[in-house]
Structures are given as C-alpha cells and as structure tokens.
Amino acid sequence: MDYLYRFTLRVKKILQDIQIPMKIIERIEDIDKPFTNAVVTIGNFDGVHIGHQSLFHEVVQKANHLRGTSLAMTFDPHPLRVLTNRRHPPLITLNEQKKELIAATELDVLIVVPFTQEFAAISARDFITELLVKRIGMKAIIVGQDYSFGKNREGDIHLLQELGRQEEFEVILADWIKSSHQNKDRISSTRIRELVAAGDIEKAQKLLGRHYQIRGTVIAGRNRGGKLLGFPTANLALHDELCPKTGIYAVTVDWEGGNHHGVANIGYSPTFDDHLFTVEVHILDFDQDLYGKQIKINFLKRIRDEIKFDSIEALSRQIRNDIAVARDLLND
C-alpha cells in the first residue's frame, strides 16, 4: 500500500512537470469538433501587453473552474489592413512574435483567423452562434467593455449578453488594467505605440512586461560601418512593425539562442547626407557574419538623438562613446 501511494505521488509530480504546448489553429475548417467547455477571448492582441496577459490569465482561471478549454482568437492580417485598403497602425508584434508570446501563457488553444473580406461579412449573430457556440463550443466569453464584433461591427456588449442568454453561455466583462496607481490611463496598444514612437522605450517596457523588440533578416548595408567607421553593423529591413524614434539605443540581440549586447542606430545617418533610413546594430565583442540571418533586437534604453557631425572622425569618436555608455547600461 505504501509503495502504491509513493508511486501515485511520483506519477502526479511527473504530470505536473509536463508542459503541454499550446495548440495553434490557423484555419477554422481544421476545428473538427467543439472544444470541451470553451472559455474564449477575442482580439487583435497587438503587443501582447500586460493587459492582454491579465485577460489570458482570467480565461485560464475560468476554464479551470469549468474543467474546460482556455482559448484565444486573433486575426492575421490586422483587420484594418483588409477593411481600410491596407491602412493600419504599425504593428507592435508581427504575427509570428504574437504567436510566440501567447504560446508562453497557459492558454490551451490559439486560433489565428485569416482575416478576409468574406470573414468580415459574417453577421454578428452568426459569428457568435455558428462559429463560437456551435463550432468552438463556447461556454463563456471574456472581453473588454468596448468589444464589438461582426459585419460593420454591428455587434456590441448588449447583443452579446442577449445571445448569451439565448445560447446559454456566460459573458464576462474584463476590467481595464491601469498603467500605474498614479496614472489612471488603461494599458493599451495605442499607448504603447505612442511611447515607442516617442523613443520612451522604458515606459513602453513597463506596459509590455518585456523589452520592445523588432526582428527580421539581416540585409546588405552601405558597406561603411566596419570599413569606414571601424564598427561593423548588421542592417535590418522593417516591414509592418513599429519602429522606435530615431536615435541611438542600448540593445541586446538574440541570435541562434544567444543573447549579445549592442548599440543600435535608427535614422538617416545625417553625417553622410544621403537621406536613407536605416536600422543597424553594432554587436559588442562579436565577429560573426550575420548576413541573411534572422536576428531579434531588444531595446533597453535610448542613449541620445541622432545628430550630424562635421567629420567621419568625429562620428567615429561619438560611436566609441556610445558603446562605452551602452556597456555601462547593459552591465548594470
């Protein structure tokens, strides 16, 4: 009997240590049967900031209470790109990073809906009853107080609550997460965009719960960082993501599982007067070829504005100073 008890405890400990990866579904057609007591939240979740993280935690708690499935639904591309002829705010997190960040939560399932004109034409009632209730098996939905849905955003909280009574699912309105006790503004993707665009990445970090990051493939630069200035740089091409304000930043660079210190320059290199926008990073104590490689740049602190120097020698001296400042900041 004592052996059986010890064996049971050991099995329980093993099961607790097993991390079951979140299931990612990228086509609604791949949902072959409803999930068990699905608890759902829906949104763009751009940034996956601490407000979103709190919402996901609430979904997980409710699903645990119902012994059901915690589920988030998001969209790709951003709905505004489809609905407003490609006009949309720059993204804090591209789709791949957003999936990675949500996968790091305890949610069971993430559905990434391909957002099309056809999907946008689904009526509010059909979206709830046909997709969420019948196909997904929704028993509860947790959303913000200004949530709207369906064709032309015709569905609102009042319709959602009415359908909840009809279809027997619970509607839970999540409280806004405030940025601080002193600042009563709610945490939002819009506020984070404003901070990053203004170069205030330290405040943005507090709302994100992590450092702001851009990522991409290293491309050919103008071949002057190493040869002309003595500081080789990796140049990054941005697409839809939000770019911090021009200037010099202390950063870390993730590449192939390693994390390296660096200094990033964002701007137009006014000393050379060629008016070409660049994002480039000098990685400290690093001599590997990154051309064509995928890297991630994490912004820790803005060091200074980008300014024009009288000579290449003066610029080179300033870069050396920037590196020294970055070393101090990154080694604190």
pLDDT digits (tens, 9 = 90+) for 268-316: 877 776 778 889 999 999 989 899 999 999 999 999 999 988 888 888 8
Cα R_g (the chain), whole angstroms: 24
What confidence tens digit (pLDDT) does each residue in 217-262 have?
Answer: 999 876 655 455 668 889 998 877 899 999 999 999 999 989 999 9
Give the pLDDT confidence score for residue 237 in this predicted structure. Answer: 86
Both 118 and 164 in a single domain? yes
Q: Exposure string (b/e) for 189-227, b if CB count within 10 Å is 16 or more?
A: bebbbebbeebebebbbebbbbbbbbbbebeebeeebee
Tell me whether residue 296 is in a domain.
Answer: yes
CATH at residue 88: 3.40.50.620
Both 144 and 228 in a single domain? no
**Conformational region of residue 207, where left means phi above 0, alpha means psi within -120 to 50, and beta covers everything else:** alpha
Report the SS3 class of residue 265. strand
- Winning range, highest mean pLDDT, from 82-91, 126-135, 214-223, 230-239: 126-135
Both 150 and 79 in a single domain? yes
What confidence tens digit (pLDDT) does each residue in 27-70 have?
Answer: 999 999 999 999 999 999 999 999 999 999 999 999 999 999 99
Both 148 and 231 in a single domain? no
151, 173, 195: which is the final residue of a domain?
173
Both 152 and 245 in a single domain? no
Give the pLDDT confidence score for residue 230 in this predicted structure. Answer: 67
Tell me whether residue 184 is in a domain.
Answer: no
**Conformational region of residue 206, where left means phi above 0, alpha means psi within -120 to 50, and beta covers everything else:** alpha
CATH at residue 233: 2.40.30.30
What confidence tens digit (pLDDT) does each residue in 177-223 have?
Answer: 776 645 557 899 999 999 999 999 999 999 999 999 999 999 987 66
Both 104 and 229 in a single domain? no
Both 141 and 259 in a single domain? no
Both 122 and 73 in a single domain? yes
Give the pLDDT confidence score for residue 225 in this predicted structure. Answer: 52
User: Which structure tokens are listed for 125?
Assistant: 């009632």
Total number of domains in the chain: 2
Both 56 and 168 in a single domain? yes
The domain of 318 spans 211-331
Q: By the 8 A CB rule, do 269 and 225 touch?
A: no
Both 242 and 288 in a single domain? yes
Both 110 and 218 in a single domain? no
> Residue ranges of the alpha helices (H) in the chain?
2-17, 50-66, 79-83, 95-103, 117-120, 124-126, 157-167, 189-197, 201-208, 312-331
pTM higher than 0.75: yes
Q: Exposure string (b/e) for 1-24, b if CB count within 10 Å is 16 or more?
A: eeeeeeeeeeeeeeeeeeeeebee
